[in-house]
A and B are shown apart, each in its own frame.
Chain A
């Protein structure tokens, strides 16, 4: 691994932090400067993430699959490390892709709906990137808090009664979850004396039998904190309410937050409780698969019961989280590869859907409900009351209704998991993977396959019903005012999902190698704990 790429690992954390600080030094009158700064930053983040992705994906089976970056050049178990391996790089690329398109969408009007949107948005990206990159449990806590603090601000972005009410619950639940996180981390430290994930994986087999129970309690408490974030039933009741209250760009980027919870579950259950873990091997698997299936069922019922599109979107996020958790619990390399592919596809679909909901509501003329009167004096102006805007980009795109409807159909196919799009490929890969993993296919695996099939069908019914209500309405209303940049943002996300279906072979090879890498936790341990050649002095990180 060359020097340049090793230093690149820290860029996704440092760059948005600096850029967020920079945007704060420009006031609202210079919003174009702010927008330019944050757009440039998210674009650079995407480039960096793609470079890291290519660095992690090429080369032999497991060589070079992980780049460990020791901050301050302190060796691994004592210093803090950032680790960019295949899974991290994949999640980073997904985050920056979502970040770029969501930011593009918000530039049309939402970034003016409240103060300091760009700073909060960039800090959220910093927290998410940090959570994906860190190789240390306590730093994971710190990055979680960074992303949560930014998300509290973004939930309230645009203000209004519904958002404040939803934010009140969201903040309390996450503060309580953070306490659980700390208790879990402290217990693990108390037993093993380390918080470095790789060091922890190496020390687990040697834990004394008397302490093992206490260690597993610590891991379970930690797991509950992540499952609250991931939206597992019965811990995910906050999710649809919060996501449907948040503004469109905020809800769209929040789709990645549930995936942060899922990412940590994937990482820790495979790293810490693989077959090498001795008596603790497979800890929590049974719980994850049962909980995941319950989550899918809960989400499916929710999708069917929802009367508004934003709640449909929220429950789709829950179904997707449930699927990934169940796959992690069911185990097996091939199933996990399918699960990762499904994760990418469902994230892109859900994110595009939340952006689309705003345009669909605008098409129905019901957006006025979404714009509350200002509460604080530093809220600048109503994002829709833009006298000058009509002059700049007031072009009615003639085909806007058609484009919106087309986007809706694509989102529905992606989220329900129907052919020919990637949602279907992902679900199919999960099913074949689950069936291949053990020889007489177990009852749990059959249940998972059945639940996945039924949930696809139920989601299709829900999408068709909502689509008929919204898109086949009387056509005497004027076409909605849609800015080209909003359609471009949605188009970018859906094109990515289409590319994922068309280049399915390439994507599948990558997730398969990622899954193989995740199932060899000792290679991760070796990559992190083996002292890397010292960086040249005076090098700028």
Chain B
């Protein structure tokens, strides 16, 4: 399971960084989204991978830390997802404004050959 998760994070982050360095605003925004997925998975993985362990107290499960998954990274991931989502939406508005003002979707606001 660890190797699958690590590969997943690696592929997402690698593709995200490549797209982030591309010259079109749409590629950049997709790149940012992929990077934020990778980061969210990474935070989740930092709570260690556990299968079949609830993150919140359950009366049916003996009250011992060993029986539970770490709830804190899950809380952190939720916050990070919300913030990342809002920022992506904000960037989308900016992208459209830039497209309307400059008439091009290049990140510098002008085509390189001009």
Q: Interface SS of chain A: helix, strand, loop or mixed?
A: helix
B100 and A138: CB pair below 8 A?
no
Contacts of A182 in B (CB 8 A): 39, 42-43, 80
User: Nearest-CB distance from A238 to chain B (Å)?
Assistant: 13
Least CB separation from B95: chain A residue = A168
- In the complex with contacts A145-B87, A149-B86, A183-B101 CB distance below 8 A: no
Contacts of A176 in B (CB 8 A): 20, 32, 35
Contacts of B69 in A (CB 8 A): none
- In the complex with contacts A161-B101, A172-B28, A142-B79 CB distance below 8 A: yes
A149 and B87: CB pair below 8 A?
yes
Which residues of B (81-114) have their CB < 8 Å from a CB of A? Answer: 83-84, 86-87, 90-91, 94-95, 97-98, 100-102, 107-109
**B73 located at the interface, meaning its Cβ lies under 8 Å from any Cβ of chain A in the complex:** yes
User: Nearest-CB distance from B100 to chain A (Å)?
Assistant: 7
CA distance A142 to B80 in the complex (A): 9
Q: Say which residue of B80, B91, B100 sits within 8 Å of A171 (CB atoms).
A: B91
Interface string of A262-304 (1 = CB under 8 A from B): 0000000000000000000000000000000000000000000
Which residues of A (150-200) have their CB < 8 Å from a CB of B? Answer: 152, 156, 159, 161, 164-165, 167-169, 171-172, 175-176, 178-179, 182-183, 185-187, 189-190
User: Nearest-CB distance from B96 to chain A (Å)?
Assistant: 10
User: Nearest-CB distance from A324 to chain B (Å)?
Assistant: 28
A186 and B36: CB pair below 8 A?
no
User: Nearest-CB distance from A237 to chain B (Å)?
Assistant: 13
- For chain A, the bracket of interface size reads 20 to 34
User: Nearest-CB distance from B44 to chain A (Å)?
Assistant: 9
**B46 located at the interface, meaning its Cβ lies under 8 Å from any Cβ of chain A in the complex:** yes
CA distance A31 to B60 in the complex (A): 58
CA distance A541 to B55 in the complex (A): 31
Interface string of B6-46 (1 = CB under 8 A from A): 00000000000000100001001000100110010011011
Least CB separation from B102: chain A residue = A161
CA distance A332 to B90 in the complex (A): 43
Least CB separation from A144: chain B residue = B83
**A399 located at the interface, meaning its Cβ lies under 8 Å from any Cβ of chain B in the complex:** no
- In the complex with contacts A165-B109, A186-B76, A175-B98 CB distance below 8 A: no
Least CB separation from A161: chain B residue = B101
**B72 located at the interface, meaning its Cβ lies under 8 Å from any Cβ of chain A in the complex:** yes
B94 and A156: CB pair below 8 A?
yes
Least CB separation from A167: chain B residue = B94
- In the complex with contacts A165-B102, A168-B94, A172-B91, A142-B83 CB distance below 8 A: yes
User: Nearest-CB distance from A333 to chain B (Å)?
Assistant: 35
**A473 located at the interface, meaning its Cβ lies under 8 Å from any Cβ of chain B in the complex:** no
Q: How many residues of B contact A (CB 8 A)?
A: 34
User: Nearest-CB distance from A443 to chain B (Å)?
Assistant: 37
**A210 located at the interface, meaning its Cβ lies under 8 Å from any Cβ of chain B in the complex:** no
- In the complex with contacts A142-B83, A149-B87, A161-B109, A179-B98 CB distance below 8 A: no
CA distance A176 to B48 in the complex (A): 25
B46 and A186: CB pair below 8 A?
yes
Which residues of B (57-89) have their CB < 8 Å from a CB of A? Answer: 72-73, 76, 79-80, 83-84, 86-87
Least CB separation from A182: chain B residue = B39
**A468 located at the interface, meaning its Cβ lies under 8 Å from any Cβ of chain B in the complex:** no
B32 and A172: CB pair below 8 A?
yes
**A375 located at the interface, meaning its Cβ lies under 8 Å from any Cβ of chain B in the complex:** yes
CA distance A182 to B46 in the complex (A): 11
Contacts of B47 in A (CB 8 A): 189-190
Contacts of B87 in A (CB 8 A): 145, 149, 171, 175, 178
CA distance A165 to B105 in the complex (A): 11
CA distance A375 to B20 in the complex (A): 27
A145 and B83: CB pair below 8 A?
yes
User: Nearest-CB distance from B45 to chain A (Å)?
Assistant: 8
User: Nearest-CB distance from A134 to chain B (Å)?
Assistant: 14
Contacts of B94 in A (CB 8 A): 152, 156, 164, 167-168, 171
User: Nearest-CB distance from A205 to chain B (Å)?
Assistant: 22
Contacts of B83 in A (CB 8 A): 142, 145, 178
CA distance A272 to B100 in the complex (A): 47
The interface centre, meaning the residue of A156, A161, A172, A183 with most chain B CB atoms within 10 A of its CB, is A172
The interface centre, meaning the residue of A164, A168, A171, A185 with most chain B CB atoms within 10 A of its CB, is A168
Contacts of A156 in B (CB 8 A): 94, 97
CA distance A161 to B90 in the complex (A): 17
Q: Say which residue of B32, B42, B79, B86 sits within 8 Å of A186 (CB atoms).
A: B42
CA distance A97 to B100 in the complex (A): 38
CA distance A336 to B100 in the complex (A): 48
CA distance A421 to B8 in the complex (A): 57
Q: Say which residue of B42, B72, B84, B98 sits within 8 Å of A164 (CB atoms).
A: B98
Contacts of A189 in B (CB 8 A): 46-47, 72-73, 76
Interface string of A432-450 (1 = CB under 8 A from B): 0000000000000000000
Interface string of A409-422 (1 = CB under 8 A from B): 00000000000000
Contacts of B100 in A (CB 8 A): 375
Contacts of A165 in B (CB 8 A): 98, 102, 108-109
| Between-chain CB contacts (< 8 Å), 12 pairs | A138-B76, A145-B83, A152-B90, A161-B109, A165-B102, A168-B107, A171-B94, A182-B43, A185-B43, A186-B42, A189-B73, A190-B46
17 new A-B contacts, CB < 8 A, other than A142-B83, A149-B86, are A138-B76, A164-B97, A168-B94, A168-B95, A171-B87, A171-B91, A171-B94, A172-B32, A172-B107, A175-B32, A176-B32, A178-B84, A182-B39, A183-B39, A183-B42, A186-B43, A375-B97
Interchain residue pairs A-B with the least CB separation, the first 8 = A190-B46, A186-B43, A186-B46, A165-B109, A182-B39, A179-B39, A145-B83, A164-B98
